[in-house]
Chains A and B, each alone.
Chain A
């Protein structure tokens, strides 16, 4: 919440440093996508296909805008809906799997979705991608910045409401013991699909945002590597906290910007960092704030 408030006021302070804006906008978009991965964690599934659904959302927006000249404000929610529906259909088949089997399958799913767009013929324009997408706010950075903020706020609110409602508790019950949850009448399959579909919808929303942010979409815009990063964001921030994925996305993205001269070592740095976090902070960065609060109380 505090983060959102700060982000709301930040533009006034930053003036018009395009670089800083684009870093923050990047963070917000990635956070939105990572929220979906976080939500899939709450039903006890490690989701490594979120990049695939971001790609679906991104391509949906690009196709709506470039081929059908649709209004962006219609294309945005529609793209999220497309991703969510695709998630519901695919999820209803794959969510039976658990643990490593589910994760491995989702990795291949990311790749399968990428290949589908790569070989989509004229419609997706193969590896050339769809470019020169119109920007809804013309030249103004502020417009896109506040769009990202609004989308992130919406995503956070939705995830928050789900997590702290009876539905979120059902999700958690399923994570702890699906048989127990089913014993008192929970339609486990249905709730798994709901969680996954909302998660994919958030991924699609993020993908749609990035498509207009970068004014383009390519098959390699979102790949397996990205899917893995989104998962790492959640681990880093903390799986027990709704804001975990967001905190992780900001910390890792900003950290990487600061270390940009070491670009060739990116994966190495990420890897080392992740090992350190998992060893030293198994519950993520957000757990540190909790511990401090407990000490104070």
Chain B
């Protein structure tokens, strides 16, 4: 096993009396793009864990390491700079900007020109625009959004907006991408397509951590799965192991079998 790129050690989050996350340990390995999923019933604490990893919430205790460096309590933009980016379920996009402009805007970290040069349109800023729009085009191609590059966001269907959100995350050129329910609200065709694209992104060298309720998608895409239940991690393993894990079956008991893809 290669060195972990992202590591959560004994991470705990309390909201008042509520234990949203209790002593969570989790690792994501580099350099091959690994896809790791976090599953669990509603309110299990998955989003809370993601928010802590990306810096949007401070853990009550525990440690988070990126490349072995502690990032616990750092602000999200600094964590993004260090290579961990999260995407949002509700991708609030600018209705009047094109897909291309969205991804180009999200290249915030990779411009050379200073803000003043940008404001006054000096040569270095114009050079940036050319360079960054090329990079944006590559990302759009990878996400299979090339055909709608010049379409304004308000004309894009939900399925493509979700991919656009992921494309914006990639624009920061992360090594770790956190996706919170990337396939929610997509129809089966859109889901299949998005799953394949996610795989492609991982193969391009980005390690992916995702939260998802669509078990079929989770089983198909994940190298490893972590199961949260009432804030505690009750299981971890390959999709095969998770499918057969008694604790997991117990936790999901009372739900329709198909939810676990059994």
Contact B108 A184 (CB under 8 A): yes
Contact B80 A183 (CB under 8 A): yes
Q: Which of A161, A167, A173, A185 is within 8 Å of B172, CB to CB?
A: A185
Q: Which of B80, B88, B94, B119 is within 8 Å of A167, CB to CB?
A: B119
Contact B91 A185 (CB under 8 A): no
Residues of B83-137 whose CB lies within 8 A of A: 85-88, 91-92, 94, 97, 101, 105-109, 111, 115, 118-121, 125, 128-129
Q: Which residues of A contact B200 (CB under 8 A)?
A: none
> Quick one: closest A residue to B178, CB to CB?
A183
Q: Which residues of B contact A180 (CB under 8 A)?
A: 88, 91-92, 168
Residues of A175-225 whose CB lies within 8 A of B: 176-177, 179-180, 182-188, 194
> Quick one: closest B residue to A157, CB to CB?
B120
Q: Which of A167, A176, A177, A185 is within 8 Å of B115, CB to CB?
A: A167
CA distance A207 to B40 in the complex (A): 59
Q: Does B193 contact A (CB under 8 A)?
A: no
Contact B105 A170 (CB under 8 A): yes
Contact A187 B111 (CB under 8 A): no
Residues of A110-163 whose CB lies within 8 A of B: 158, 161-162
Q: Does B76 contact A (CB under 8 A)?
A: yes
Contact B94 A182 (CB under 8 A): no
Q: Which residues of A contact B77 (CB under 8 A)?
A: 182, 185-188
CA distance A183 to B194 in the complex (A): 21
Q: Which of A167, A172, A176, A177 is within 8 Å of B118, CB to CB?
A: A167
Interface size on B, residues (CB 8 A): 34
Instruction: Take A165-B118, A176-B94, A179-B76 as given contacts and tell me if A185 and B81 are in contact as well, using a CB distance cutoff of 8 Å.
Output: yes
Contact B168 A184 (CB under 8 A): yes
Instruction: Take A176-B94, A185-B80, A185-B172 as given contacts and tell me if A162 and B106 are in contact as well, using a CB distance cutoff of 8 Å.
Output: no
Q: Does B171 contact A (CB under 8 A)?
A: yes
Interface size class of A (residues with CB under 8 A): 20 to 34
Shortest Cβ distance from residue B125 to the other chain A in the assembled complex, whole angstroms: 7
Q: Which residues of A contact B115 (CB under 8 A)?
A: 167, 194
Q: Which residues of B contact A185 (CB under 8 A)?
A: 77, 80-81, 85, 108-109, 172
Q: Which residues of A contact B54 (CB under 8 A)?
A: 183
Q: Does B59 contact A (CB under 8 A)?
A: no
Q: Does B252 contact A (CB under 8 A)?
A: no
CA distance A194 to B107 in the complex (A): 19
Contact A166 B92 (CB under 8 A): no
Q: Does B230 contact A (CB under 8 A)?
A: no
> Quick one: closest A residue to B113, CB to CB?
A166
Q: Does A169 contact B (CB under 8 A)?
A: yes
Shortest Cβ distance from residue B115 to the other chain A in the assembled complex, whole angstroms: 5
Contact A183 B105 (CB under 8 A): no
Q: Which residues of A contact B33 (CB under 8 A)?
A: none
Residues of B128-153 whose CB lies within 8 A of A: 128-129
Q: Which residues of A contact B92 (CB under 8 A)?
A: 176-177, 180
CA distance A166 to B125 in the complex (A): 9
Contact B86 A166 (CB under 8 A): no
Instruction: Take A183-B54, A183-B85, A184-B109 as given contacts and tell me if A172 and B80 are in contact as well, using a CB distance cutoff of 8 Å.
Output: no
Instruction: Take A172-B94, A173-B94, A173-B105 as given contacts and tell me if A184 and B172 are in contact as well, using a CB distance cutoff of 8 Å.
Output: yes
- Given A184-B169, A186-B77, A186-B108, 6 more A-B residue pairs with CB atoms under 8 Å apart are A158-B119, A166-B125, A167-B119, A176-B92, A182-B75, A183-B86
16 contacts between A and B (CB under 8 A): A161-B121, A165-B118, A167-B115, A173-B94, A179-B56, A179-B76, A179-B88, A180-B92, A182-B76, A182-B77, A182-B80, A183-B54, A183-B76, A183-B88, A185-B85, A186-B77
What are the nearest 4 A-B pairs in CB distance?
Answer: A185-B109, A185-B80, A184-B106, A177-B92
